[in-house]
Amino acid sequence: MPGVVPSDPLAWVAIALFAGGALFERANRRAARYVMVSAWISFALFWLNLFPHFAFEHKSYIEGILSLAAVPLCLYAGLLLYRGRDTLFVLSRAVAVMGIVYLPFETIPAITVGATTIPSPREVLVELVAAQTGYLINLLGYHPTPIVGSEGYDNTFRFVHTDGHTLVFSVVLACTGIGSMAIFAGLIAAVRAPLGRKLRALAIAIPIIYALNLLRTTFIGIVFGKQYMQWFVDEVLLLFGSSDPYMVSFFLSDRVISQLLAVVALIGITYLVVRELPELLTVIEDVLFMLTREEYDLHSALDVPQTGSRGQMRPDGGHVGVESGAEAERGGDDGD
């Protein structure tokens, strides 16, 4: 949704702390640890504050559940980092980069609004995705009327339903895929690996995310505009707390089907990226540990070779004269 939500200041506080901890990390790991523990606590408060926005205003149960689940996970991450699980420095650095990439598109006026005659980066991105979505909708034989949206962007399509009712579908920032791109940008930037492999990993993730996102916006636009999913109308309206029967197709196509498929797509993209950048498995192992409290060796499970801290690999998965990235993180000195 456009505009500032109450959690934006909390988001900036958390990201500033994560970034500060990353800057301290090499010079003084003890100080970095305390700063990043504070960051995880702030991040937990951010997700707790965001839960009502997703669950009640945005009416997205999947995002609402995930935001609520993120609260104890963030607190647990802070506790584990405080107790010495230094691999979590990688995830902490990743969150810092994610926020630095994404938050400006939501909160900084120079990026969200722009000048009188010069469109803002946010406007350019939204209108680009809207134009390409409109092209795909037309290509499939549907021809809604393009109109100017509530933000003044050329990002909205008007469908006239068979009963004469007008339906309006807008492409907003959340429809551009920038959030998912920021996630992978943060993860890839956070690991210690050669720049070439990082760039190749980005070259895998970003185009796939962008293409899948265009398919998603096209699917939602057509299904909502043509009311193709008017299924279980009363039940869906009750579930999403709405009284508008024309929103049923939108709720099912966007809030249910698209969001579930997005989770599957992110898992698939992660697998492809990990094949290029095995260092990311350290982050995934940490997340799985927080969820299950069991240690995992994903390098062996996925038959991915171990890498050294400088990206060196042997065919048998061993190391060439250096510690592995995970070992280096776990064995870090807490001294000054």
DSSP SS3 for 16: helix
Q: Which residues are within 8 A (CB) of 278 and not within 5 positions of it... i.e. 6 or more apart?
A: 299, 304, 305, 306, 307
Distance CA 53, CA 56 (A): 6
Task: Evaluate whether 235 touches 252 at the Cβ level (below 8 Å).
Answer: no
Distance CA 125, CA 171 (A): 10
**SS in 3 state form for 89-117?**
HHHHHHHHHHHHHHHHHHHCHHHHCECCC
Q: Which of 29, 175, 192, 293 is catalytic?
A: 175
Task: Evaluate whether 217 touches 181 at the Cβ level (below 8 Å).
Answer: no
Side-chain half-sphere CA neighbours of 259 within 13 A: 16
Q: Which of 30, 216, 255, 275 is catalytic?
A: 216
Return the amino acid letter for 77: A
Phi, psi of 159 (to 5 degrees): -105, 140
Pairing of strands 145-147, 166-170: unpaired
The residue length of the chain stands at 336
Reply yes or no on whether 74 is catalytic. no
Burial letters 131-154, b for 16+ CB under 10 A, else e: ebbbebbeeeebebeeeebebebb
Pure H helices in 191-278? 195-226, 233-240, 248-250, 259-276
At 190, which helix (H) or strand (E)?
A: helix 178-190
DSSP SS3 for 83: coil
Reply yes or no on whether 33 is catalytic. no
Task: Evaluate whether 21 touches 53 at the Cβ level (below 8 Å).
Answer: no
Q: Which active-site residues does the annotation give?
A: 175, 216
